[in-house]
Amino acid sequence: MELLKLNETPVRTSRNFNINNIKLENISIPQEINNFNNMQVYGDESKVIIDNQNTKLNLTYGLGDFFTNQVSNNANKKIKIVIDKKLNKEIEIDFKFDKENNDLIDNIEIVAEEQAKGTVILKYVTEKNIQAFHNGVIRLLAKKNSKVNIIVANLMNESSNNFMSIENKVEDESKVNYTIVDFGGKNSITNYFSDLEGELSDNKLSTIYLGKDNQLFDLNYIGELRGKKSNIDIEVQGALKDNAKKHFKGTIDFKKGCKKATGNENEACMLLSDTAKSLALPMLLCSEEDVEGNHSSSAGKVGEKELFYIMSRGFELKEAMKLMVRAKFNKILDNIKNEDLKNEILDSIDKILD
Amino acid sequence: MAKTKLEEINRNIYDIKNKDEYDFKIKKGLTKEIIEEISKQKNDPDWMREFRLKALDVYNKLELPTWGPDISELNMDEIATYVRPKTGLSNSWEDVPEDIKSTFDKLGIPEAEKKSLAGVGAQYDSEVVYHSMKEDLIKQGVVYTDMETAVREYPDLVRDHFMKCVPVNDHKFVALHGAVWSGGSFVYVPKGVKVDIPLQSYFRLNSPESGQFEHTLIIVDEGASLHFIEGCSAPKYNKVNLHAGCVELYVKDNAYLRYSTIENWSKNMLNLNTKKAIVGKNAQVDWVTGSFGSKISMLYPMSILNGEGAKTEYTGISFAGKGQNLDNGFKVVHNAENTSSLVNAKSISKNGGKCTYRSLVRINEKAKNSKSSVSCESLMLDDISISDTIPVNDIRTDEVEFSHEAKIGKISDKTIFYLMSRGLSEEDAKAMIVRGFAYPISKELPVEYAVEMNNLINLELDGAIG
């Protein structure tokens, strides 16, 4: 397999810093895509339209031509979800990878109509001992005054590969809350792009990631602020044990004309072993004067004082660590109102940290 | 609130042009024959001539950077890489030719030497024309001389250190520097010697369509300390000039070095400079940088913390106006336990100028218990300018404390309103805020240089508030 170069940052920096893109070797890409049948829809099924026609995608960024074209030409799940004023229940779609269904190429389009509100949960899980492949695109159009919550939970095993491209277009006064739980995949590579074109448009992106063994996470998040008084908040909390590695590339780009726009980005990485590695590039790009942009980034081990305090209350080191990680993730987990999903995520945290 | 009017300013003393007179000017371009001619003109020893030719080979093999400002307008076929002025090296100010002396007089160099410096070097085009140092430092064994003299008189010391800290294959313009370098300063501070007042080298490029490639090599031996100041300026011509200097700093165990720069190249200059320090056990290097000039600047001083307990601080400000693209920043690599780095970077963009803060903090596996804190702030003075922050944080072990924060924005309307309610005009209020923004950098400079930096800010703001 040739070397794959993907997930380019919007602005390049020195090649020696090894962060402009990610290069992957020996990734097994399925050549023949079979049907994927192990999918379950919960909630208002009438809003979920399943269609098998391929659609040519024109993503602003995406992971790269190869991955975008695969979804354009070979998607084995093409789904449109409509959030309208009549929607009264959250929609959940679970994708379960097993021996018969271990390759998923999904093309998901979500349209939130004007003034509509709704929640969509997309969950990806794998059976044990299979090597799954996921390449997906999620496109969201949040029309005027809509309010959308989207939760993407990657709970795949650590021998699978997860590739995901997300694009949002956020119109006037609409609000998009995106929560990404990124735990699975030997390689989990995500490109997230939000076009805040609308006046007073708002996007909150909250991510937790948790890695062990030799897992690699490459997160490339881009928020372009175009509308007046638009806002983006990016919050990323993660923990890495063993030899796990994370690349975080976060860009807040204030485009000319986005007067009084604001953007905040906070990325924190807990290193739970001395061989885990954190690479971060939190970018602020600014072509407009009347804006406020902030970013902060931190990395280090779990605070010894806090660990000592918890252990002095009778907890063992491993349990104390779990508590600390959960505490860091809690604020983001609170975005998930679906208790079953939340408990499943908490179980996964425990298993990964065992 | 009404927009501040931003005009291009008169850089007065910095734009004084002398007649393009020289003793020797190499023909434009970059070929093996040209490198051999430079080497011959400079009476290089054989090892240096071979070094130059090897560097030319590396230059020809390396690509231009694929990131940062567009430097495609640089055509090496239009640049003369060596211009020897019509004078030799002098230890007496009176012996320097009148037009050159007059330029440095107006820049305040001899005045500064009298008042606040332990030694001065002045380079005009490709050669150092004046060098002096106080007697008591000579007696203590301090060496401060031009690089050519150092190559001749301290061959072993130079050969052991020359382009070892910054190897020629680092990037294309380091290779170019290795091939055509000329002039610059050599400083050696012996073990335990504390140089209490600063040394300064001033670099002036007068000749149009030429380049300046000075090499600065400073060795601060164990337990010694030094403050070195570098100033740079040039008059403005219509075609591009190139500055691709190289600074190599060796700060041995328990030593201290502060390296301050006031860079005010003319706005047709491509400033592609490289600066790097290797820092020993419990030693410290501090960088203080004010970057005002140049059309394009790509400058990222670097500290390599190799010794246990080594420290570095970077305090820098960039001020980009019309037609300027200043891509500056800092790099630090932590290679040993208990090392620390502190970065405080600021930038101001106005009148269509672009400032980029680009950086790297790398904490390697062996650097247990290391700490790094980075803060960068960018101020936008209008809506036609650009300000970008592109920092890379590469943390490879868990026993670290690392934090990075950055802010971008305009001058707060509330602050201006507050100052105006105290009787200041809007312009004075803005100027006061900008000076306050730059204060953390100016306070790190000796008072005379802080004044020079404030004058430069005033010059820029005089234009800004028309």
A294 and chain B in contact, CB less than 8 A: yes
Ranking A186-190, B45-49, B349-353, B455-459 by mean pLDDT, the lowest is B455-459
Separation CA B130–CA B113 (nearest Å)? 12
A5 vs B: CB within 8 A = no
Q: Give pLDDT, residue B1.
A: 42
Strands A245-254 and A277-286: parallel
pLDDT band per the 50, 70, 90 thresholds, residue B461: low
So what's the pLDDT on residue B101? 67
Residue B3's pLDDT is what? 41
Amino acid identity at A304:
E
Question: Among partner residues A17, A274, A292, which is closest to B360 by beta-carbon distance?
Answer: A17
Q: Indicate yes or no: CB of B368 within 8 angstroms of CB of A274.
A: yes
- With cut-offs at 50, 70 and 90, classify the pLDDT of residue B15: low
| Residue B465 predicted with pLDDT over 50 | no
Q: How far apart are CA B256 and CA B286, in angstroms?
A: 8
* ipTM of the shown complex: 0.92
Q: Do A297 and B398 touch (CB under 8 A)?
A: no
Nearest residue in chain B measured CA to CA from A272: B398
Please determine, for residue B5, whether its predicted confidence score (pLDDT) is greater than 50. Answer: no
Chain B contact set for A11 (CB, 8 A): 67, 388, 390
Does residue B202 or residue B149 have the better pLDDT? B149
Q: Structural domain boundaries of chain B? A: 13-412, 413-466
Q: Which of B235-244, B319-328, B391-400 has the lowest mean pLDDT?
A: B235-244
Residues of A in contact with B65 (CB under 8 A): 14
Does the beta-carbon distance from B383 to A288 stay under 8 Å? yes
Q: Do B404 and A297 touch (CB under 8 A)?
A: yes
Name every chain A residue with its beta carbon within 8 A of the beta carbon of B365.
Answer: 274-275
Answer whether residue B223 shows pLDDT above 80: yes
Mean pLDDT, residues B198-225: 87
Give the start-to-end residue ranges of the domains of chain A. 4-302
Render pLDDT for A287-319 as a digit per residue (tens, 0 to 9).
999 999 999 999 999 888 888 999 999 999 889
B389–A281: do the CB atoms touch at under 8 Å?
A: no
State the best of A5, A8, A12, A13 to mutate against chain B, taking most chain B CBs within 10 Å: A13
A298 touches chain B (CB under 8 A): yes
CB contact under 8 A, B397 and A272: no
Of residues B107 and A233, more confidence is placed in A233
Q: Once rounded to an integer, what is the mean pLDDT over residues B64-74? A: 93
Distance from CA of A12 to the nearest CA of B (A): 5
Looking at CA atoms only, how far is residue B328 from chain A in angstroms?
A: 12
pLDDT at position B7 is: 40
> Which residues neighbour B354 within 8 Å (Cβ) at sequence distance 6 or greater?
B69, B320, B324, B325, B326, B385, B386, B387, B388
Are A176 and A148 contacting, i.e. CB atoms less than 8 angstroms apart? yes
Q: What is the mean pLDDT of chain B?
A: 87
Q: Looking at the complex, does the CB of residue A300 fall below 8 Å from at least one CB of chain B?
A: yes
Cα A299 from Cα A18, distance rounded (Å): 18
Please tell me what DSSP assigns to residue A299.
E
Binning pLDDT at 50, 70 and 90, where does residue B430 land? confident
Structure tokens belonging to residue B87: 């004078």
pLDDT in tens, B283-301: 999 999 988 889 999 999 9
Contacts of B367 in chain A (CB under 8 A): none
- Spans of chain A, pLDDT less than 70: 1-2
Residue A20 near chain B (CB below 8 Å): yes
Per-residue model confidence (pLDDT) at position A28: 87
The shortest C-alpha distance from B275 to chain A (Å) reads 16
Q: Which residues of B touch A307 (CB under 8 A)?
A: none
Interatomic CA distance for residues B276 and B287, integer angstroms: 10
Q: Which residues of B touch A286 (CB under 8 A)?
A: 378, 380, 386-388, 408
Is A150 in the B-facing interface, judged by CB distances under 8 Å? no
Q: How far is B75 from chain A (nearest CA, A)?
A: 22
Predicted local distance difference test score (pLDDT) of residue A110:
98
Asked if B398 and A274 come within 8 Å (Cβ–Cβ), the reply is: yes
Selected residue of B337, B390, B414 to mutate for chain A interface (largest A Cβ count, 10 A): B390
pLDDT of B275 strictly over 70: yes
Write the DSSP assignment of A121-145 as a string of letters.
EEEEEE-TT---EEEEEEEEEE-TT
Contact across the interface for A301 and B402, Cβ inside 8 Å: no
**Averaged over B121-133, what is the pLDDT?**
76
Closest Cβ opposite residue B393 in set A272, A274, A297: A297
The pLDDT score that the predictor gives to residue B285 is: 98
* CB A263 within 8 Å of CB A225: yes
Q: What is the pLDDT of residue B82?
A: 84
The confidence score (pLDDT) of residue B198 equals: 87
Query: Closest by alpha carbon to A251, among A219, A283, A224?
Result: A283
Cα–Cα distance between A197 and A208 in angstroms, integer?
26
Sequence-distant (≥ 6) Cβ neighbours of residue A122 within 8 angstroms: A92, A93, A95, A108, A138, A150, A151, A152, A153
pLDDT attached to residue B16:
63
Residue-wise pLDDT for A145-166, tens only, equals 999 999 999 999 999 999 999 9
- The reply to whether A19 touches chain B by the CB within 8 Å rule is yes
Q: Which residues of A touch B68 (CB under 8 A)?
A: 13
What is the band of B446 on the pLDDT scale with cuts at 50, 70, 90? low
- Nearest chain B CA: its distance from A109 CA (Å): 32
pLDDT at A180: 98
Provide the pLDDT for residue B177.
96
Least confident residue range of A140-144, B35-39, B134-138, B457-461: B457-461
Tens digit of each residue's pLDDT (9 = 90 or more) over A196-211: 999 999 999 999 999 9
Contacting A residues, span 316-345, partner chain B, CB-CB under 8 Å: none
Identify which of B386, B406, B409 has the shortest CB distance to residue A295.
B406
Between A270 and B458, residue with greater pLDDT: A270
> Token pair for residue B212?
């300046």
Instruction: Determine the residue of chain A that is closest to B1 in CA distance.
Output: A290
pLDDT at B22 > cutoff 80: no
Burial A130-163 (b: 16+ CB within 10 A, else e): bebbbbbbbbbbbbbbbbbbbbbbbbbbbbbbbb
Q: To the nearest whole percent, how much of chain B has pLDDT over 70? A: 86
- B-chain CB neighbours of A283 within 8 Å are 388-391
Query: A with B: how many residue pairs have Cβ under 8 Å apart?
Result: 137
Res B12 pLDDT > 90: no
Q: What is the mean pLDDT of residues B11-35?
A: 75
**Residue contact B400–A281, C-beta within 8 A:** no
Residue written as token pair 């240089």? B449
Helix (H, G, I), strand (E, B) or coil at A340: helix
Q: Give the separation between CA A167 and CA B42, rounded to whole angstroms.
A: 60
